[in-house]
């Protein structure tokens, strides 16, 4: 029995290594990996604008410091996916986007927008950005709904449209009073955690894309 176990351990390691080698990287499926755009743009609602903290404490500002690169903050408080779609040309597409970090959906949830509508708008936003030759990083969120699975929706959009997904971006933040400025927004500490969750995947995407 002991001899069998000794042989089983290297076999298990070899199998795990094979899976790691052949398993598709989430970065290899990102469309426009070799974008010729110039800018990183954070496009979203109040969570991107940094409501509840100073501009320097908003997650795009913290992300910029961590990456050592400028990140344009194109967040507008109160934006739904529909209102964001209405301003995408001026705020994103005309600014030579290379990587666009899309963080939307919270106000759709608060305004009881049907999930199908939110998903359709998100897909259109992603497709417009990709049509401009840019990579898309999609922030995923979970909201307390008994009838709509937002987490699954973000995963579906990212998979279908060739985005890099950062799931559950607010996990543990809005349930911790020490990380919130009010009931639905982080404070500076909360935004710092958001930025930390975004930094690693975006930095790796930049490396995969060739600086």
Q: What is the pLDDT of residues 109-132, one digit of tens each?
A: 999 999 999 999 999 999 999 999
Edge to edge, the sheet with strand 164-166 lists 71-75, 39-44, 97-103, 135-139, 164-166
User: Would you say residue 17 lies in a domain?
Assistant: no
Q: Specify the number of domains making up the chain.
A: 1
DSSP notation for 129-187:
HHHTT-EEEEE------SS--HHHHHHHHHHHHTPEEE--TTTTTTT-GGGBSSSS-B-
Domain for residue 9, yes or no?
no
Question: Is residue 165 assigned to a domain?
Answer: yes
Q: 2 lies in a domain?
A: no
Q: What digits encode the pLDDT tens for the residues 30-73?
A: 999 999 999 999 999 999 999 999 999 999 999 999 999 999 99
Residues β-bridged to residue 16 = none
What CATH code is carried by the domain that includes residue 158? 3.40.50.1110
Among candidate residues 174, 209, 208, the one with its CA nearest the CA of residue 193: 174
In-domain check, residue 79: yes
Domain that holds residue 188: 27-209
């Amino acid at each position: 029995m002991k001899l069998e176990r000794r042989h089983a351990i290297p076999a298990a390691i070899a199998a795990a290594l094979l899976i790691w080698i052949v398993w598709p990287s989430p970065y290899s499926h990102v469309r426009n990996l070799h974008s010729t755009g110039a800018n990183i743009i954070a496009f979203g609602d109040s969570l991107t604008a940094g409501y509840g903290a100073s501009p320097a404490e908003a997650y795009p500002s913290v992300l910029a410091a961590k990456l050592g690169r400028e990140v344009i903050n194109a967040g507008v408080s109160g934006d739904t996916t529909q209102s964001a779609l209405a301003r995408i040309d001026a705020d994103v597409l005309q600014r030579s986007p290379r990587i666009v970090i899309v963080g939307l959906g919270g106000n759709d949830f608060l305004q009881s927008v049907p999930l199908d509508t939110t998903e359709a708008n998100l897909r259109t936003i992603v497709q417009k950005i990709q049509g401009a030759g840019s990579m898309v990083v999609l922030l995923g969120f979970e909201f307390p709904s008994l009838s709509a699975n937002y987490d699954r929706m973000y995963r579906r959009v990212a998979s279908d449209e060739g985005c890099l997904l950062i799931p559950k971006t607010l996990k543990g933040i809005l349930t911790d009073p020490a990380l919130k400025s009010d009931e639905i927004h982080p404070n500076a500490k909360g935004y710092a955690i958001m930025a930390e969750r975004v930094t690693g995947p975006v930095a790796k995407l930049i490396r995969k894309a060739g600086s």
